[in-house]
Structure 1
Amino acid sequence: MASPASSRSALLIVDMQVGLFNGPEKPYEGERVLDNIQQLIRKARSASAPIFAVRHTGPAGSPIAAGSALWQLLPALELDPALDTLFDKTRPSSFFATGLAQQLNDVGIKHLVIVGMKTQFCIDTTCRVAVESGFDVTLVADAHTCMDTPQLSAKMIIEHHNATLGAALVKRLDTAQVRF
């Protein structure tokens, strides 16, 4: 189960944007990760769990500047601005200067199910800040991704973060195990 029975859960989708997902460097197992996130969206909707989706916003003139085609969330996610909370960030943390913690508290969310991109930056930071902010967190181990770096393969980065974050900070589940 994704959360204790006494707490309300929400799905938090991080930086699943056109420019990051479809850029020159492809995310590791991107289509599988996207499919898993789509499954989690359906599960959240079925359980009437809120969905929050954040976009990383670059400075004016950058490929992911606000309003640019590459900045948009992936259409395949089928997010609905009338139902879902869509917001922007400028730092790796989904909480920094976004009002996210207050929005979650306002609707009684105690537990976050976190998915998206990029594992070693925004997923890692968002998980850590969520825990520091008093939320219970489930990191969906098969629903976050990144790209290879010169030092490490994306697969190794993902495995490392699943192990590190799952060791003491967050609960780690696969898509099939998550319940809202």
Structure 2
Amino acid sequence: MNAALLIIDVQQGLCEGDHAAYACTDVITRINVVSAKARAAGRPVIFIQHESTGGYLEFETREWQLAQGLEVVPGDVRVRKSTPDAFLLTELEALLQAREIGELIVCGMHSEFCVDTTTRRALALGYPVVLIEDGHTSEGNAFVSAPQVIAHHNVTLAAITSFGPRVRTVTAAALQFETP
């Protein structure tokens, strides 16, 4: 099945300061492993960038930029979004259809917001999803630690059966692409 890699919201403003996501540097390293595998297999790498209309993550600010250390090459695609759903009010679905993509590989930030919402929407649209279980992260919150949020979403998303297509979890190291 023709797959595309979605790298969701791995942006500088989410990787620094008091509210930095958990283990950003390690997660970015694993995302770079996955994106290198995708490129080597000829699969599209799509960077999704969240933006606000003012303040935090405002378009083209330093915080909005892709995170330091994230490997981006010519030919990678960028999609701007303004909601947790990377499909809502964006060109993502049309881009996937034009490239005849049938499966999505998902990683990024934050597990409980944009990764979760985009994954569920992908399932609703008929896309099976491979969730990189060690390639998404969260800040956590006052009630649940970031590692707990990550573990919860790995289990919860993989348990969803109602859409038809399923989520399969795999580590960055174990991910393999079928040869075309």
CA distance in 1 between counterparts of 2:75 and 2:176 reads 20
Task: Tell me how far 1:135 sits from its aligned partner.
Answer: 0.8
Q: Deviations over 1:32-90 (max 9, x none)?
A: 11110010111011111100001100112x1211111110012422213x301101100
CA distance in 1 between counterparts of 2:143 and 2:14 reads 20
SS, match of residue 134 in structure 1: coil
Moved more, 46-55 or 68-77: 68-77
CA distance in 2 between counterparts of 1:77 and 1:30 reads 10
CA distance in 2 between counterparts of 1:65 and 1:23 reads 17
The corresponding residue for 1:4 is none
The corresponding residue for 1:176 is 173
The CA RMSD over aligned residues, in Å, is 1.1
- TM-score normalised by structure 1 residue count: 0.92
CA distance in 2 between counterparts of 1:76 and 1:27 reads 15
2:126 corresponds to which of 109, 117, 134: 134
Task: Tell me how far 1:24 sits from its aligned partner.
Answer: 2.1
Q: Does 1:10 align with 2:10?
A: no
The corresponding residue for 2:88 is 96
Gaps of 5+ in 2: 161-165
Q: Contact 2:79 / 2:91 at 8 angstroms: preserved in 1?
A: no
Q: Which has the higher contact order (CA 8 A, sep 6+)?
A: 1
Structure 1 residue ranges, 4+ long, deviating more than 2 angstroms after superposition = none
Aligned residues: 172
The corresponding residue for 1:65 is 58
Q: Does 1:49 align with 2:43?
A: yes
1:115 corresponds to which of 107, 112, 123: 107
User: Quick one: percent identity of the two aligned structures?
Assistant: 34
Letter in 2 for 1:41: S
Letter in 1 for 2:98: D
1:144 corresponds to which of 127, 130, 136: 136
Structure in which a larger fraction of residues adopt helix: 1
Letter in 1 for 2:151: E
- TM-score normalised by structure 2 residue count: 0.92
